[in-house]
Amino acid sequence: MTDRPTQLKLAPETRAAQALHYIHPMHGAVVPGIEPASTFARDADYAPMGDAVYARDGGPTTQHAEAVLADMEGAAAAMAFTSGMSAVVCLLETLEAGDHVVCPVVGYHGTIGWLHRMAEKRGVKATFYDATEPGALEAAVTPGTKLAWIETPTNPNWDVTDIAHAAEVAHAAGALLAVDCTVAPPCTTKALELGADIVFHSATKYLNGHSDITAGVLAVTETGALWDEMRMIRTLQGTALAAFEAWLLIRGMRTLHLRFERASESALAIARHFEGHPGVEAVLYPGLESHPGHEIARRQMTGGFGGMLSLLARDEAAARTIATSTQVFLPATSLGGVESLIEHRIAVEGPHSVVAPNLLRLSVGIEAVSDLIADLEQAIERAS
Ligand SMILES: *Cc1c(COP(=O)(O)O)cnc(C)c1O
């Protein structure tokens, strides 16, 4: 982003904190501005003056956010979208009738719902596999499978899938591996370096981190025909992230490492505190040794286990009481923000949900962990 040379090999958090060593080339501002223009003038030779022509394809602020994202992921390129789901839809839109896709049974309901729609309306063949069952992914992927979609850790049970292994399985069948790494952002897991071809994030969550935009990301190891098709789809659907949201995303990403570290530390403390607690049946958190995915998580979540965990209350009524009794945790959906959230998940997903009725999903923010523990204690007390 500047001409100033550097010989130092910088850590990812250094590059992220400075939004890629940003200095405005004319007046020296150390924070990027917002470029809201929808159209961009040409020079005397009628050539575009910069990389942008028309904002539906993404303007300079969006391109800056994408440069930071690509750098964080170690990606050849990244695209920012108006939401996580618009990024998912863009990727799935490249599938044709007869193409085979595999996807976990338990995972983000929007993605699963859209795949069902693609199967019903477009003749895409979808196989849903149980990510908790060893060998289930291998059994679901067949020679000729086009796309293997995995999510790790899986919302809302936080089951962990081994990305490097999934990449081997997918590639052996000639499939591309796409990973929903929303819950494990690049400060802890670099899916592309582990062998994935495409990494997806709902940037609404950790990447932005302040619950004030919706955004999505696709990043890839190599650009080519698929990338060009996805760019074309994004341009024609008009789902490129707009300038103001891109600016907020850049601002959020500058503190990603710090926020994630704090959330991980607090979530682990909460998980340990409530594991074995008389008012709680179980704590689901990949950072606990008791979690079935702990060993894989230790290898592939190198920057912390994150701020997402679930508590199983004694029963559904207790879960409902706890979710409506917290004074610090805010009763809202979403995750990855600086404020802690609690959610009675089945009530949000609706009647088709396969989530346990007594499951409470927690998104741990950056508040004092003592306040968070005290809050859950008083809410659990009320339910017993
Ligand atoms: C939120 C979320 C999505 C969808 O992203 P939006 O930004 O809400 O469109 C996809 N996957 C996971 C794991 C999510 O948490």
Query: Is the same domain home to 224 and 92?
Result: yes
Q: How far is the CA of 121 from the centre of ligand 1 (A)?
A: 23
Q: Is residue 301 part of a domain?
A: yes
Q: How far is the CA of 42 from the centre of ligand 1 (A)?
A: 38
CB count, 10 Å around CB of 294?
17
Q: How far is the CA of 272 from the centre of ligand 1 (A)?
A: 27
For residue 41, the surrounding DSSP H or E stretch is none
Domain boundary among 228, 253, 278: 253
Query: Is the same domain home to 272 and 129?
Result: no
Q: What residues in the chain have per-residue pLDDT under 70?
A: 1-5
Position 334 scores a pLDDT of: 95
Please identify which of the residues 22, 99, 108, 146 carries the catalytic annotation. 108
User: Given ligand 1 and candidates 91, 109, 183, 202, which is best to mutate, with the most ligand atoms within 8 Å of its CB?
Assistant: 202
If phi over 0 gives left and psi between -120 and 50 gives alpha, with beta otherwise, what is residue 373? alpha
Nearest alpha carbon, ligand 1 atom 5: 84
Give 7-12 contacts, CB < 8 A, sequence gap 24+: 12/71, 12/72, 12/186, 12/187, 12/257
CATH code for position 350 = 3.90.1150.10
Burial of 19 (0-12, 13-18, 19+ CB in 10 A): buried
Query: Is the same domain home to 287 and 324?
Result: yes
- What does the alpha-carbon distance between residue 231 and residue 220 come to, in Å, rounded to a whole number? 12
Per-residue tokens: 330: 């805010």
Query: Is the same domain home to 77 and 217?
Result: yes
CATH code for position 64 = 3.40.640.10
Position 99 scores a pLDDT of: 98
Nearest alpha carbon, ligand 1 atom 1: 202
Is 205 among the catalytic positions? yes
Query: Is the same domain home to 157 and 231?
Result: yes
User: Given ligand 1 and candidates 82, 92, 108, which is best to mutate, with the most ligand atoms within 8 Å of its CB?
Assistant: 108
Domain boundary among 225, 253, 281: 253
- What does the alpha-carbon distance between residue 68 and residue 97 come to, in Å, rounded to a whole number? 35
Straight-line distance from the first to the last Cα atom of the chain, in angstroms, rounded to the nearest whole number: 57
Domain boundary among 253, 283, 309: 253
Q: Which structural domain range is residue 157 located in?
A: 12-253
Nearest alpha carbon, ligand 1 atom 11: 108
Ligand 1 surroundings by CB, under 6 angstroms? 83-85, 108, 110-111, 151, 155, 180, 182-183, 202, 204-205, 214, 216, 335
Please identify which of the residues 99, 159, 162, 180 carries the catalytic annotation. 180
Query: Is the same domain home to 339 and 308?
Result: yes
Is 57 among the catalytic positions? no
Q: How far is the CA of 91 from the centre of ligand 1 (A)?
A: 14
Position 107 scores a pLDDT of: 87
Query: Is the same domain home to 278 and 239?
Result: no
Nearest alpha carbon, ligand 1 atom 6: 84
Q: Is residue 6 part of a domain?
A: no
Q: Is residue 46 part of a domain?
A: yes
Query: Is the same domain home to 245 and 269?
Result: no
Position 155 scores a pLDDT of: 84
How many structural domains does the chain have? 2
Query: Is the same domain home to 17 and 60?
Result: yes
Position 49 scores a pLDDT of: 95
Q: What is the pTM of this model?
A: 0.96
- CA 44 to centroid of chain Cα atoms: 43
CB count, 10 Å around CB of 165?
15
Query: Is the same domain home to 149 and 260?
Result: no
Nearest alpha carbon, ligand 1 atom 4: 84
Q: How far is the CA of 134 from the centre of ligand 1 (A)?
A: 25
Q: Is residue 1 part of a domain?
A: no
Query: Is the same domain home to 248 and 260?
Result: no
Which residues are within 8 A (CB) of 136 and not within 5 positions of it... i.e. 6 or more apart?
129, 130
In what order do the strands lie in the sheet containing 216-220? Answer: 77-81, 216-220, 198-202, 176-180, 147-151, 100-104, 125-129
Q: How far is the CA of 30 from the centre of ligand 1 (A)?
A: 31
Give the ligand 1 atom nearest the CA of 111: 10
Is 259 among the catalytic positions? no
Query: In 3D, which of 107, 228, 218 has the Cα closest to residue 156?
Result: 107
Query: Is the same domain home to 44 and 185?
Result: yes
